[in-house]
Amino acid sequence: MSPSQKARARISLSGPLPSRTIVRINGPQTVWFSSDLKAIEGLPLAGVMVPKVESAGEVSSIRAALGDVAIFAIVESARGLSECKSIAVVADRLAFGSIDFVADLGCSHERESLLCARSDLVLASRLSNLPPPLDGVTLEIDDTARISDDARYAASLGFGGKLCIHPRQISPTRAGFHPTKSELEWAESIPLDGTGVVSIGGKMIDEPVRLNAKRILARAKACSECDGDAAPRT
């Protein structure tokens, strides 16, 4: 987005905003950061998405400026990943900027190359009792099978959502995060209100199994309820 377009994007925020609006601003290291921050001060936002976060201090300064607004910190560099546990302490949710991360490290944008980074973000989120992090984007816009498969892979690692770059990616992404029919059938077969260890169909059922079933059912409900609102971008 050119600088002139960024200015127009800020102006567009002066009008009525949809409910649950999340605005993506430019990173703290950019020349546009201060103008972006000033443009959203006092707005009734559900959250602000901050790219290239590399320290907890950056998040804390944004929170001091904006007050009670959810901060989504996008980790997309080696330094940011090394600080992800401390960032998770002060952010409301983490996200993975996989494209910029690959450019920073010089590695390939393959699942094997990024597995450790993704796992670190999931672990950091859990340690700070945050919602599961958001995975990075899929560059293909019209390859619905690839988009759904990427989302399914992210869900298998413990991610709770995925960043999109085009509205056409929303439906296949949601489909990828939705539990499969067999997963739902299994979760629905587990007695969630039980205690202790029991045997059902020759398989052991204990509290961790019940917790997994509850998470599958919660993920199915969340996928059904989400509406796919787009976020303004500056």
Supply the pLDDT for residue 159: 97
**Least confident residue range of 46-50, 60-64, 100-104, 177-181:** 177-181
Helix, strand, coil: what percent of the chain each, to 5? 50, 10, 35
pLDDT cut 90: percent of the chain above it:
66
Q: CA of 175: how far to CAs of 36, 50, 72, 170, 224, in Å? A: 33, 26, 23, 9, 10
- Hey, which CATH number is domain 3-136, 3.20.20.60, 3.10.20.740, 3.40.50.1260, 3.40.190.10? 3.20.20.60
Higher pLDDT, 42 or 102: 102
Radius of gyration of the chain (CA): 19
Q: What distance in Å separates the CA atoms of residue 29 and residue 21, rounded to the nearest whole number?
A: 24
Q: What confidence category does residue 229 fall into, taking pLDDT thresholds of 50, 70 and 90? A: very low
Supply the pLDDT for residue 228: 41
Q: What does the DSSP 8-state code read for residue 50?
A: E
Angle, CA of 19, 89 and 151, to the nearest 5° = 60
For the chain, give every domain's residue range. 3-136, 180-234
Q: Can you spell out the DSSP letters for 12-37?
A: HTTS---TT-EEE---TTSTTHHHHH
Residues β-bridged to residue 75: 96
Strands 47-50 and 70-75: parallel
The contacts of residue 206 (CB under 8 Å, 6+ apart) are 196, 197, 198
pLDDT digit string (tens) for 112-129? 999 999 999 999 999 999
The contacts of residue 225 (CB under 8 Å, 6+ apart) are none
Supply the pLDDT for residue 226: 67
For residue 212, the SS3 value is helix
pTM: 0.85
